[in-house]
Amino acid sequence: MAKKPKIPRIDDLDREQANLSDGDLDALLAGSLSMGGASAVEAFELESGEEVEGSVIGSDGDDVLIEFGKNTGAIPKDEFHGEVPESGTRIKATYRRFDATREVAVLSVSEVIRDLFWREAQIGMVVEGRVIDVNRGGLVLLIKNERAFMPISQIDLEHVEDANIYRDQTLECEITAIDNDRAELVVSRKRLLKEREDDRRMENIDRFEVGRKVDGTVRRVNEHGAFIDVGGIDGLLHSSKLRRARDVIGDGPKVGDRLRVEIVHVDTEQGRIGLDIVREELSSGGVTLARTSDAEVTTDLEVGESVTALVSRIREEGAFLLLDDGLEGLIPADQLEENPVKPGNVVQAEIVAIDLGKRRVTLKRS
């Protein structure tokens, strides 16, 4: 009986006869590369724009070298935007031409990276881009070789007077709008900074206690009062307190001023801190609304007075507003049905009742 011929295993084949490199053999066994197609032909037989796939085998000067089929390809390193792949990494690229002098195929990954970027780009994705232009409306960034626009209002937490200081800088930002048809991106750095500031605030809020006196630096001033950095967190020195402390601080603090303040309110849920000028810094003729004990609070708020305050939280009973001296204002829920509010909104209301024992002020929406 004739002996059946032994069928050779693929790893026993002569690789030169099979036209397979080690990388191609591994890919074939993994099912990711077929014997036919662009990777199995001579590079000079390919047409410009044809896609190939291979493995990184090293670098040569300004190029990353890949092996595809029995060919070697060269891809400019700058097309990888600083993220040069390691040896063994599988890469798809587009064939450009054959360099007979170097005997390599000149390849490009720009189109592949661009297609991949637009497929993966989504609202909320954090990306990095280099500022390549500045105009009256904001910044133009280059992200993965794609142009993106950052409105001037979205550059920083504070208003930016001169956006030219960001020219040529690499900024981390968040995608806020995508127009795939027009290949346009809108990004925001402010949103990312705000999220991180909020996270830091929530992590640190527990170490602040009512009654504690600290030194702080004024970061910004607006119609609501002065926002003072008291150790990584901004506390609010309400505008009403600034008015009553004019005998100490004059017309009001300026950005960069150092002030001695007392913590009079801590909202751990919203990460907000209420401040007051410390009692001993007020002149004898000044009026202080500082807390005198855990159970006793004084205030010069009056029934019928109109107040403007920040909504700190929403509960079933209504909206709570951060007022002076650790007092909370409550707008009952039935007044919010037609015109609801959210935490962070600034609203105007009228005081209808004051309960100092409960540190609670009942309000009516103006």
Neighbour tally for 348: CB within 10 Å: 11
- pLDDT at position 241 is 79
Q: Choose the final residue of a domain: 162, 193, 224.
A: 193
Domain membership of residue 87 (yes or no) is yes
Statement to judge: residues 95 and 17 lie in one domain: yes
Statement to judge: residues 186 and 229 lie in one domain: no
Q: Choose the final residue of a domain: 135, 161, 193.
A: 193
* For residues 206-211, average pLDDT: 78
d(CA 350, CA 127): 46
Domain membership of residue 333 (yes or no) is yes
d(CA 86, CA 77): 12
Burial class for 262, CB neighbours closer than 10 Å (0-12, 13-18, 19+): buried
Asked if residues 107 and 93 have their Cβ atoms less than 8 Å apart, the reply is: yes
Asked if residues 224 and 238 have their Cβ atoms less than 8 Å apart, the reply is: yes
Is the confidence at residue 114, as pLDDT, over 90? Answer: no
Statement to judge: residues 100 and 188 lie in one domain: no
Statement to judge: residues 187 and 223 lie in one domain: no
Residue 6 Cα to chain centre, angstroms: 63
Domain membership of residue 298 (yes or no) is no
Domain at 227, CATH number: 2.40.50.140
Sequential DSSP letters for 114-179: HHHHHHH--TT-EEEEEEEEEETTEEEEEETTEEEEEEGGGSSSS--S-GGGGTT-EEEEEEEEEE
Statement to judge: residues 27 and 69 lie in one domain: yes
130-163 tens-digit pLDDT: 999 998 889 999 888 788 999 999 999 888 888 9
- pLDDT at position 34 is 37
- The enclosing H or E element of 199 equals helix 190-204
Is the confidence at residue 121, as pLDDT, over 60? Answer: yes
Asked if residues 363 and 322 have their Cβ atoms less than 8 Å apart, the reply is: no
21-35 tens-digit pLDDT: 444 434 433 433 333
Statement to judge: residues 184 and 236 lie in one domain: no
- pLDDT at position 337 is 83
Q: Which of 40-54, 185-199, 269-283, 343-357 has the lowest mean pLDDT?
A: 269-283
Is the confidence at residue 297, as pLDDT, over 60? Answer: no
Statement to judge: residues 43 and 100 lie in one domain: yes
User: CA neighbours within 13 Å on the CB side: how many for 167?
Assistant: 7
Domain membership of residue 295 (yes or no) is no
* For residues 35-58, average pLDDT: 71
Domain membership of residue 72 (yes or no) is yes
Total number of domains constituting the chain:
4
- pLDDT at position 167 is 92
Q: Where are the alpha helices (DSSP H) in 205-299?
A: 239-244, 246-249
- pLDDT at position 150 is 92
d(CA 75, CA 319): 60
Is the confidence at residue 305, as pLDDT, over 80? Answer: yes
- Pick 107 or 39 by higher pLDDT: 107
Q: Choose the final residue of a domain: 45, 79, 113.
A: 113
67-102 tens-digit pLDDT: 898 888 899 888 876 678 888 888 888 888 888 888
Could you tell me the pTM of the whole model? 0.44
- Pick 150 or 247 by higher pLDDT: 150
Statement to judge: residues 69 and 130 lie in one domain: no
- pLDDT at position 1 is 43
Confidence band (pLDDT; 50, 70, 90) for 282? very low
Asked if residues 264 and 291 have their Cβ atoms less than 8 Å apart, the reply is: yes
Domain membership of residue 296 (yes or no) is no
- pLDDT at position 169 is 92
d(CA 192, CA 241): 32
Is the confidence at residue 58, as pLDDT, over 60? Answer: yes
Q: Give the range of the structural domain holding residue 186, as residue numbers without chain letter.
A: 121-193
- pLDDT at position 172 is 93
- pLDDT at position 196 is 82
Domain membership of residue 48 (yes or no) is yes
* For residues 286-295, average pLDDT: 34
Is the confidence at residue 334, as pLDDT, over 50? Answer: yes
- pLDDT at position 11 is 40
Statement to judge: residues 230 and 318 lie in one domain: no
Statement to judge: residues 155 and 245 lie in one domain: no
Domain membership of residue 288 (yes or no) is no
